[in-house]
Chains A and B, each alone.
Chain A
Amino acid sequence: MSIRTPSPSIFRPEGGVDKSLIENSKELLGEIDRRKILRGTMSLGALTMLAGCTEITYTGPVQSVLRTVSSFNDRVQQLLFRPNHLAPTYSEAQVVKPPRFNAYYEIDELVPVDGATWKLELAGLIQDKRSWTAQQIYDLPEQEMIIRHICVEGWDYIGQWSGVNFRQFLERVGADLTAKYVAFKCADDYSGSIDMATALHPQTILATKYAKEPITDPFGFPLRLRTATKLGFKNPKWITAIEVTNTYPGGYWEDRGFNWFSGI
């Protein structure tokens, strides 16, 4: 049994797929094996997943199965998430100074953001999409929290972060709090997204300060996300735009195979 037969097949979408999608997926289609229908099914699964994402390198049916399980694990984590359960907090004496640098490049490649010209753009399901200057952000009420930062790699440190509570900010700009995702774009072309439940968690803030001082260049000046319930890479730094959306936005590491929800 082969899925390459031109006859009607349940594995062949009736309406046909976007031609450019097939063009972009030549490698993937080459993986489809005529021997086992199961493998073919999995590859088709990968193809349909491609429609929602860009910049993905698939290595075949195995990767497709693993990504499907990863998406299933997203849903499991959403069920495990306790919206009102607070992360443990720590004393000022335990705060590590400075925090640990981490990005998808080395620290010497860092391009600092100019605070004077920086603007925070808002997009998507938000009523008041006016952009924000750094000073306007600084003028917002501050919430401070001393929480543990845990990286997907396994290291951790205790940090002291302050900034506006993210739920309060989203309410202030009239964001649709029933939307599924909040997506972030960053000055260094990093991107990321979190679920709305995490965005509304009491320990999720838009941080402007570390250890009571403005966040310095390597750690996200002037604005970064800090949420106590997600792995480090889910906390975008040098944020330039926030979008509230119901369309899965993905993210830099997520598009490269890391689990999207990545809650802790």
Chain B
Amino acid sequence: MADITVNSTDRHQRKLHPLPLRIMHWLNALAMIIMIGSGWKIYNDEVLFGWLHFPQWITIGGGPEGALQWHFFAMWLLMINGLFYLGYGLATGRFRRKLLPIWPSEIIKDVRDALAFRLAHDDITHYNAVQKLLYVGVITVIIAQVLSGFAVWKPIQLSELVTLFADFQGARLAHFIGMVLIVGFLVVHVALALLVPKTIGAMITGGPRVDEPPAEEPPAEAAPAELAPAVPVPEDAVREAH
């Protein structure tokens, strides 16, 4: 295997954001917007904080029953799409390649550079430490949000899960805090994407082609012939294949 991975002719290229990933990204965006907008309407019916009501125009669902319908519709989209995304990220090695490792020293350096407006973003194929931290962070928060959501939805059937959040209102509060963190991420994420618009283009078209070591492809062992072709394959043919 080692001799294959060091042979550059055996590396193949694919787009920065492969098609399945782009589809999952935008489905997640849609599901998340529905979840947040309908969640705000549900929250309004019994607020956790007297000073905080979400304006009706910013909510989804019209009345409480409509908001609940939307929330319990989009949860399937969010969960199923999210499971595919996690499976994809783990199976293809994308998480390992793009999001890890995250070194505290790098984060400190990148934050300092960012505050001095020196943070480079010419190369959108490489995530800096702050980006990695944000992406890993929001994935973690969304998983926790699904768990607190289950605790709010089924506080008796899943009473063991509720004890993680103290009680029912604790689960509601955790679900609210998760929403705040996700909305916070969304604001930063969208603002930064607007600052570097080519990142938005890349999430639509797939972006530039990047090298990807074949050893990180899941069926590597299953298809040895593809990994070590007897005759060198022209690069264009490899592009076509992927």
What residues of chain A have their CB less than 8 Å away from a CB belonging to chain B?
63, 65-67, 69-70, 73, 80-82, 85, 87-88, 148, 150-156, 228-229, 253, 256-259, 263-264
Could you pull out 28 A-B pairs where Cβ atoms are within 8 angstroms?
A63-B69, A66-B66, A66-B69, A67-B69, A69-B72, A69-B73, A70-B72, A73-B72, A80-B154, A80-B157, A82-B157, A85-B156, A85-B157, A88-B156, A151-B46, A152-B68, A153-B46, A153-B64, A154-B43, A154-B172, A155-B46, A156-B168, A228-B156, A257-B63, A257-B65, A258-B65, A264-B154, A264-B156
Q: Give CA–CA (A239, B157) in the complex, Å.
A: 26
Give residues in B with beta carbon < 8 Å to A. 42-43, 45-46, 63-66, 68-70, 72-73, 76, 153-157, 159, 168-169, 172
Closest to A81 in B: B157
User: CA separation between A109 and B73, bound complex, in Å?
Assistant: 35
| A-side contacts of B43, CB under 8 Å | 154
* A150 with B168, Cβ < 8 A, contacts A70-B72, A155-B46 known: yes
B168/A148 in contact, CB under 8 A:
yes
Q: Nearest Cβ distance between residue B77 and chain A, in whole angstroms? A: 10
In Å, the complex CA distance between A87 and B157 comes to 8
Establish whether residues A66 and B168, one from each chain, have CB atoms under 8 Å apart when the complex forms.
no
Residue from B42, B66, B69 whose CB has the most chain A CB atoms within 10 Å: B69
Chain A residue at smallest Cβ distance from B47? A154
**Once bound together, how far apart are the Cα atoms of A209 and B169, in whole Å?**
26
Looking at chain B's contact residues, the main secondary structure is: helix
* Residue of A148, A154, A156 with highest tally of chain B CB at under 10 A: A154
**Interface contact B168-A229, CB-CB below 8 Å:** no
On chain A, the residues within 8 Å of B168 by CB distance are: 148, 150, 156
* A66 with B154: CB separation less than 8 A: no
Taken together as a complex, chains A and B put the C-alpha atoms of A113 and B56 apart, in Å, by: 38
Least CB separation from A80: chain B residue:
B157
- CB of A258 within 8 A of CB of B157, answer no
Kindly identify which residue among A73, A154, A229 contacts B156, using a CB–CB cutoff of 8 Å: A229
Chain B: which residue is nearest A203 at the CB level?
B156
Rounded to whole angstroms, the CA-CA distance of A88 and B155 in the bound complex is 10
A83 → chain B closest CB, angstroms: 11
Q: Which of A63, A256, A264 has the most CB of B within 10 A?
A: A264
- B37 → A minimal CB distance (Å): 14
Is A152 a contact partner of B64 (Cβ separation < 8 A)? yes
Interface contact B157-A154, CB-CB below 8 Å: no
Are the C-beta atoms of B155 and A150 separated by less than 8 Å?
Answer: yes
Tell me which residues across on chain B come within 8 A of A87, comparing CB atoms: 156, 159
Q: How far is the CB of A2 from chain B (nearest CB, A)?
A: 28
CA A197 to CA B63, docked complex, whole Å? 30
Give the chain A neighbours of B68 by CB distance below 8 A.
Answer: 152, 258-259
Q: Which residue from chain B places its CB closest to the CB of A67 in the assembled complex?
A: B69
By beta carbon, the residue of chain B nearest A156 is B168
A35 to B73, CA, bound (A): 25
Compute how far the CA of A154 lies from the CA of B42 in the bound complex, rounded to whole angstroms.
8
With A153-B45, A154-B43: A259-B159 Cβ-Cβ less than 8 Å: no
Asked if A88 contacts B159 (CB within 8 A), the reply is yes
Residue of B nearest to A72 (CB): B76
